Amino acid sequence: MRTNNGVLAVVSGPSGAGKGTVVSALINSCGSCFLSVSATTRPPREGEIPGKHYNFVSRDEFEDMIKKGELLEYAEYAGNYYGTPRRDIDLLLSEGKDVILEIDMQGGTMVREKRADAVLIFLTPPLIGDIEKRLRGRNTESEDSIKKRLETARRELSGAGSYDYIVINDSVDMAVEDIRCILRAERCSASRNPLAL
C-alpha cells in the first residue's frame, strides 16, 4: 500500500441489490471507511438524524451550493434536491479515509466526470448476475420467455457500462469483503502511485 490518500468509491446498483445493508456493514466493519452524507431539500422523516442520514438544507441554500460548485453531483427527484457536498469528501480523503457514496448510476456517472480517480462499484443481486445460467439450466422456459427476461435484466444493467467493478451480493459478508479488497487494491494501483520520484 503506498498512497496516503483515501479512495473515493461510488456504490450503485438496481433496486433489490441490498446496497444499504452492504454499505452499512462495510462502514461498521472497516475503520477507514466513511459514508458521505448527502444534502437534501426534502424535510426530515421520522427518525432521521440531521448530519447522519442527510444534511437538511433549504432550497435557497441548495441552489447556492450548486452555483458555487460545491456539489460533486446532484439531482432533483419529486421536487426535492439531493446532492453530494464536495468539501467534506476532500477533507476525509486527505486524511487517508475512504469515502463511500451510495448514489444512483446517473450520480455515479457525474462523479466519474468530475473525479477521474473515483472508483465505481456496481452492486448486483445474484439473480441478475446468474439469470441466464439459471434460466437455461432449469430447461423449463421457452427461448422466447428467456429472451424477455434477459431483456429486462439487460435494461437494469445497461447503466453499469462505465463502472469499474461488479460485486454480486449473494452474501453480505462476501460483498463487504469484495468492496474492502477493492478499496485496498485501489490504493496500490499504479495510477495512484506515480513512480516518478
> Where do contacts with its own copies occur on this chain (CB under 8 A)?
1-2, 121-122, 129, 131-132, 150, 153-154, 157, 160-161, 163-168, 174, 177-178, 180-182, 184-186, 188-190, 193, 195-197
Nearest approach in angstroms of CB 71 to its own copies is 26
Instruction: Provide the 3-class DSSP secondary structure of residue 190.
Output: helix
Nearest approach in angstroms of CB 7 to its own copies is 11
Q: To which H or E segment does residue 126 belong?
A: helix 126-129
CB atoms within 10 A of CB 154: 11
Number of residues that this document lists for the chain: 197
CA 100 to chain centre: 7
Closer CB to its own copies, 39 or 123, in the complex:
123
Nearest approach in angstroms of CB 164 to its own copies is 6
Nearest approach in angstroms of CB 184 to its own copies is 4
Give the CA distances from residue 5 to residues 9, 128, 138, 163, 167, in Å, rounded to whole numbers and listed in that order. Answer: 13, 34, 48, 21, 23
Closer CB to its own copies, 74 or 165, in the complex:
165
